[in-house]
Amino acid sequence: MKKIAIYGKGGIGKSTTVSNVSAAMAAMGLKVLQIGCDPKADSTRNLTGGENIPTVLDTLREQSDATLEELVVESSTGVLCVEAGGPVPGVGCAGRGIITAFEKLEELDAYTIYRPDVVLYDVLGDVVCGGFAMPIRGGYADEVCIVTSGEMMSLYAATNISHAVKSFGKRGYASLRGLILNAKNFAGEQELVDKAAAEIGAPVLYRLPRDPAVQQAEAQGKTVVEAFPDSEMAGHYTALAKLLLEEDAKA
């Protein structure tokens, strides 16, 4: 079972990237479990027809004895979808919510029962507190990738995430695989990302171009891989998926 945590600043296109990679891996015949670790609970929307699925935390608030079938939704593409969710607005801690969701999935033997080939954690990277760092430090993920653009705040978040990964990496937890550029297509962007990657000490694994097919697919509540499987952009997501499935040369 390959376990990858994908981090990034909110709004950078991280969930779009993760859901397309999940769909691409599923199209290869792999069983994929995607776990959204963001209070907005929108990681899997493009896999589930544009609809939000019930979150682990919302379900547990209504019934503490929820079953695995009530927490995991299989999409039309075959991807197993989970949304951790968040606390009631103004009350509680989002990071703690992620920990609760993870513990519940373990308690219900989700990984043993579903036996996924790949687990993708889609994690908000604006704040790398204890809860949001759970995939790194809890032994849930083997490696971490960071989605970024060349914008300053996106690169700032990427730097913070890399520091957290390296800090925990010294204790034998997840390692930093590299950056995934989700391009905004402004002048000098590639150079800015290359410079940041050099400072972080991680490679730029893949460069995703800006493509209107992404918005067109999302308008249908789908991934590009599902809506436009023969498109150039679907080819990019498939290439990225294959790259992530390879063994990390540094491991």
Cα gap 248→251, rounded to integer Å: 5
**Catalytic positions:** 9, 14, 40, 126
Q: What is the pLDDT of residue 182?
A: 97
Q: For 46-95, how does the pLDDT look when each residue is reduced to its tens digit (9 = 90+)?
A: 999 999 999 999 999 999 899 999 999 999 999 999 999 988 888 778 88
Cα gap 57→185, rounded to integer Å: 37
Q: How many Cβ atoms are within 10 Å of 99's Cβ, its own excluded?
A: 16
Residue 133 has pLDDT above 90, yes or no: no
Element (H, E) at 163: helix 152-169
Q: What is the pLDDT of residue 237?
A: 98
**Distance, C-alpha 136 to centroid of its chain:** 13
Residue 249 has pLDDT above 80, yes or no: no
pTM of the predicted protein model: 0.94
| pLDDT confidence bin for 250, thresholds 50/70/90 | low
More confident position, 175 or 88: 175
Q: What is the pLDDT of residue 193?
A: 98
Cα gap 133→183, rounded to integer Å: 25
The proportion of the chain whose per-residue pLDDT surpasses 90, expressed as a percent, equals: 77
pLDDT mean across residues, the chain: 93
Residue 251 has pLDDT above 50, yes or no: no
| pLDDT confidence bin for 130, thresholds 50/70/90 | confident
Given the structure tokens 């704040």, which residue do they identify? Answer: 127
Element (H, E) at 80: strand 80-83
Q: What is the pLDDT of residue 149?
A: 97
Name, of 36-40, 134-138, 217-221, the range with top average pLDDT.
217-221
Cα gap 54→84, rounded to integer Å: 9
> What sign does the CA torsion over 114, 115, 117, 118 have?
positive
Q: What is the pLDDT of residue 94?
A: 83
State mean pLDDT over 133-144: 88
More confident position, 136 or 157: 157
| pLDDT confidence bin for 247, thresholds 50/70/90 | confident
236: helix, strand or coil? helix
Structural domains in the chain plus CATH codes: 2-245 (3.40.50.300)
